[in-house]
Structures are given as C-alpha cells and as structure tokens.
Amino acid sequence: MGGMRFEGSDNYVATRDLTLAVNAAVTLQRPLLIKGEPGTGKTMLAEEVAAALGLPLFQWHIKSTTKAQQGLYEYDAVSRLRDSQLGDPKVEDIAHYIVKGVLWQAFECETPCVVLIDEIDKADIEFPNDLLRELDRMEFHVYETRQMVRARHRPLVFITSNNEKELPDAFLRRCFFHYIKFPDRETMGKIVDVHFPDLKKDLLREALEVFFELREVPGLKKKPSTSELLDWLKLLLAEDIPPEALRAKDQKAAIPPLHGALLKNEQDVHLFERLIFMARQNR
C-alpha cells in the first residue's frame, strides 16, 4: 500500500492539508482520526479514499451500545442453546456460532482495504481502549475457538469523531489527526461544483451569498453546514428557482426560499424570521 497516494476525487474536494494527512496515514499505515463540524464530509472521506484508491471499504457504524468485541466477533450463545434443545448436530462445533465482525472481515480481505469506524465517540468511554491492541497489531485472539486472526494486509483505518467524548491518550498517540475546518467560500464553490456541475454560475453565487450570510447570523443554535447547503441546492434545482429570487439585497431582507433545508431547528427559524422582520421595519 506504500506507493498509493490520494489526491482528492471527482466527487470530493480535499484541501491540501487533508490529502497530506491521508497520505501520511496511508504511507505509515496508521489510523487517521477525523474530527470536524457535523456535515463537513467526515464519513464521506473514507468512502472517497476507498473509491479513489480502488480498495474495498468496510464500514462500522458505532452506537451508544456498541461494544469493541462486536467489531471482532460475537458468540451467538442463544442460537446454540436453541439448537441444542432442538437436537441439531451443528451444535457440536462452536465455530458455527461465531459471527464475524467488521474488523475480522477486513483482516480476512484478500486485498488491502479501508475500514471506517464511524462516530467512535458515540460508544462507551472504554471502547477505544478495548481496540488499542487490535488496531496496533492488527490481530486478535478468538477465545472460543482458540484461533489467532491476523490481518493479511494492514487495513487503512479511518475513525471519525464528533467530539462527544474525549478519546484516551494512548489511543490518540497511535493515530494521525485531522480537523476538517469549515470550508471557505472558494473551497465551498469547488465542493458545490463537484456535486452540481450544471449549476448556473449566478445561482451558485447568489446561493453561496445567502448561505454564508446565514451562517453569520448571531445566536443560531445549529449553523447550516456543507451537507445542508447541498440539500438546499438540490431543492432549489428541483423547484427551478431563478437566481433573482435569492437576491435578498434587492428586495431587502426577503426570506430565502426553502430555508427549511438550511435551518433545522424551530427556534433558529423563529429567530431568523424575527431578524428578517426587524430588517424590513428598519428599511
């Protein structure tokens, strides 16, 4: 995997520092931890890197109840109990009741592969610690069948976090880290271009104007992010809204059409409408 390099893709605009962090992780075969505002493309990164490098992707989405063990394997004791009561001959071999987890599947993969551990901070605080050795050595022991599972090729591991919990230092020391900061206007233009290549120039300009202005509105509980902008543009295109309709400056503070796609919080919508109302009165 040493010779591989990621340079962004047709569907994903990667800034220079992001590609550098990815390449460092690829070259040194260390996990890459990605943080950033929600909706800035953390999860998409793994998919795009896998696609760009032509590697299979194994995804492991973490929930608050996910245990580290589930990524390795699970022993389905209940099925075995049931089979034993039904007199099924399968019951003799415990291996029939070992269910492989995402990491096991990735370790078994014939080619190098990409593993995404999505939203690791959702899990219990001990979760990352329980995976330390497995991610470091890329091997683990199956207690039930007394077998050792080793990765044929060290997979490229992407880990995303929303910062809901602090990750243990020992875990962090083993990763590269990149924080996806919110794209500036220029990068955002590129991102939109990649998603909607046919978008009219003036519509894009007006839309970005509205979008960045909206992000500047003080007191919003959740600022609209990249994914919300893309959804909104999709709606604008579907409804065939002309660019002039977005030009708030002409009509002085009109409510942008379909703003529900950008503001997802009732209080934010109220706040926004109130501000617009006040702006109109001051006209």
Site for another protein in 204-223 (CB under 8 A): 219, 221-222
DSSP conformation class of 159? E
For the record, the structure tokens of 235 come out as 């709606």
28 interacts with another protein by CB under 8 A: yes
Amino acid at 150: R
Amino acid at 190: K
Measured from the CB atom, is 24 or 278 closer to another protein? 24
- Stretches 23-31, 138-146, 192-200, 243-251: which one binds another protein (CB under 8 A)? 23-31
Site for another protein in 167-186 (CB under 8 A): 167, 169, 172-179, 181
Q: How far is the CB of 249 from another protein (least distance, A)?
A: 28
Q: Tell which phi-psi region holds residue 8, choosing left (phi > 0), alpha (psi between -120 and 50) or beta.
A: left
3-state secondary structure of 161: strand
283 interacts with another protein by CB under 8 A: no
82 interacts with another protein by CB under 8 A: yes
Q: How far is the CB of 267 from another protein (least distance, A)?
A: 8
99 interacts with another protein by CB under 8 A: no
Letter string b/e over residues 52-71, b meaning 16 or more CB atoms within 10 A of that residue's CB: bbebebbbbebeeebebebb
Q: Terminus-to-terminus CA distance in the chain, angstroms?
A: 62
Q: How far is the CB of 9 from another protein (least distance, A)?
A: 20
Residue selected from 33, 192, 210, 261 as contacting another protein according to rule CB under 8 A: 33
Amino acid at 253: A
Rounded Cα distance between 211 and 206, Å, is 9
Rounded Cα distance between 242 and 278, Å, is 26
Binding-site ranges for another protein (CB under 8 A): 2, 16-17, 20-21, 23-24, 27-28, 30, 33, 35, 77-78, 81-82, 84-85, 163-165, 167, 169, 172-179, 181, 219, 221-222
